[in-house]
Amino acid sequence: MARPVTLSASEAAGGEIPAIGVGMLGYAFMGKAHSNAFRKIAYMTWPPPLRPRLVAIAGRSEEAVRNAAERYGYERWTTDWHDLVADESIGVFDNGGPNVVHAEPTIAAAQAGKHVVCEKPLGRDADESYEIWKAVAATGVKHLCAFNYRFVPAVRLAREMIDAGELGEIRHFRGRYLQDWGDDPSLDTWRFHPDEAGSGALGDLGAHVVDLARYLVGDVATVSALVKTFLPGRQVDDAIEAAVEFENGAIGTVESTRLALGRRNAFQWEINGSKASLAFDMERLNELQVFRNGSRTRGFTTVLVSEPTHPFWEHWWPPGHIIGWGDTFVNELWHFLRAVAGETDVAPLGATFEDGYRAAEVCDAIVRSGQSGRREQLSYRGL
């Protein structure tokens, strides 16, 4: 090059923004979703509360974990999660592994002083979830149960409307999480093994419904439920149906299934209040349906939740340029890093391990009701 180059060195490492080391357990579906989120937080949320440094990833298969480390840019990999716990450069332990490995590694990481993220369901049942919550809460670290759908902008907007009293008295919640991939007898995954998963559609999908029910309406008081396994030989539930009553008097339904043909990721809910109603479908996650009483031209309004005034939208694009499912994890883990940085608390807008535990109590009550044929009352343990 003949003429002088004036390129300047950039503060490529993020300048004064402090870094935080991330240790990830799991490299599959959730490993991809969470790793993508940590990478995007570094520049989509600007300035990020902390700059995630992808330190290490752990998983059972050496080949898969090595590949994941290379793919997502982790500095190191291991087949033994204890290495993550022992690694002092890791400040956040993110557990995206199968349910069976939620408890021990998460507790160990917290006891090693790391802030912890754990995928839902927190434990395989309420007892295990309670143990995780109790043990982790005792350490004083920040904890997030990764109910990422709280971080869909439309869902957060719903919450803000409810908090502001815009719905009035809530009468109904109807939530259903419908998928259809379960109708294949030849499928095998840890999600079909009770010891690894705890339950089937209940813990996988129903837990999400329960969490948003709690997030938006409040705690559940009773459940009257059916639990069903359709496929011969399958050892976990394929679907659950529940009539539910909330502590605040609202009534409704909680449903989840892996056999709703044609519904690929249809987490749909509707809330009817005395002043307004809301409806949502995860397959159109950028939209919130809002009905407000009053005008001659009232009706359900399709709010495209993508405005500067809408939750999380400061990170994204101009209005109408929608985000994707994967982006909800960016919002979620950004919130968590803010909590870690002391800028906010995980609760009440994010789900803590207490929320993970309480959702598990409802799921357990659904199982009990399915077996007993009785309306089951909920009771929740404290620390």
- Interface with a copy of itself in residues 274-303 (CB under 8 A): 274-277, 282-288, 290-293, 296-303
The vertex-313 CA angle with 310 and 314, nearest 5°, equals 120
38 in Cβ contact with 96 (< 8 Å): no
Position 174 contacts a copy of itself (CB under 8 A): yes
Residues near a copy of itself (CB under 8 A), total: 125
In degrees and rounded to multiples of 5, residue 149 shows phi and psi of -70, -15
Position 171 contacts a copy of itself (CB under 8 A): yes
Closest distance of CB 176 from a copy of itself, Å: 7
The burial of 307, by beta-carbon neighbours within 10 Å (0-12 exposed, 13-18 middle, 19 or more buried), is given as: middle
Q: Which amino acid is at 285?
A: L
Stretch that binds a copy of itself, among 117-125, 273-281, 335-343, 353-361 (CB under 8 A): 273-281
Stretch that binds a copy of itself, among 117-125, 135-143, 208-216, 371-379 (CB under 8 A): 371-379
148 in Cβ contact with 367 (< 8 Å): no
Q: Which amino acid is at 42?
A: A
- Interface with a copy of itself in residues 43-102 (CB under 8 A): 43-44, 46, 56, 66, 69-80, 82-83, 86-88
Position 322 contacts a copy of itself (CB under 8 A): yes
x/- mask, a copy of itself, residues 95-134, rule CB under 8 A, reads ----------------------------------------
Position 243 contacts a copy of itself (CB under 8 A): yes
Q: Using CA atoms, how far apart are residues 353 and 11, in angstroms rounded to an integer?
A: 37
Q: Using CA atoms, how far apart are residues 149 and 129, in angstroms rounded to an integer?
A: 20
CA-to-CA dists, residue 108 to 80, 111, 133, 245, 319, angstroms: 13, 5, 12, 36, 43
Position 337 contacts a copy of itself (CB under 8 A): no
108 in Cβ contact with 44 (< 8 Å): no
Position 218 contacts a copy of itself (CB under 8 A): no
Rg of the chain's alpha carbons, rounded to an integer?
Answer: 21
Write out the two tokens for 244. Answer: 């539910």
Position 342 contacts a copy of itself (CB under 8 A): no
Task: Supply the angle between the helices 207-216 and 153-163 in degrees, to the nearest 10.
Answer: 40
Among residues 20 and 42, whose Cβ is nearest to a copy of itself?
Answer: 42
Among residues 137 and 259, whose Cβ is nearest to a copy of itself?
Answer: 259
Position 25 contacts a copy of itself (CB under 8 A): no
Among residues 168 and 348, whose Cβ is nearest to a copy of itself?
Answer: 168
Position 39 contacts a copy of itself (CB under 8 A): yes
SS3 at position 367: helix
Stretch that binds a copy of itself, among 115-123, 127-135, 201-209, 312-320 (CB under 8 A): 312-320
- Interface with a copy of itself in residues 188-217 (CB under 8 A): none
As a dihedral over the C-alpha atoms of residue 303, residue 306, residue 311, residue 313, rounded to 10 degrees, the angle is 180
Position 157 contacts a copy of itself (CB under 8 A): yes
335 in Cβ contact with 42 (< 8 Å): no
Position 24 contacts a copy of itself (CB under 8 A): no
Write out the two tokens for 254. Answer: 């909680």
Query: Which residue in 225, 333, 339, 359 binds a copy of itself (CB under 8 A)?
Result: 225
Query: Which residue in 131, 196, 219, 307 binds a copy of itself (CB under 8 A)?
Result: 307
Position 156 contacts a copy of itself (CB under 8 A): no
Closest distance of CB 24 from a copy of itself, Å: 12
Closest distance of CB 367 from a copy of itself, Å: 14
The vertex-133 CA angle with 208 and 164, nearest 5°, equals 50
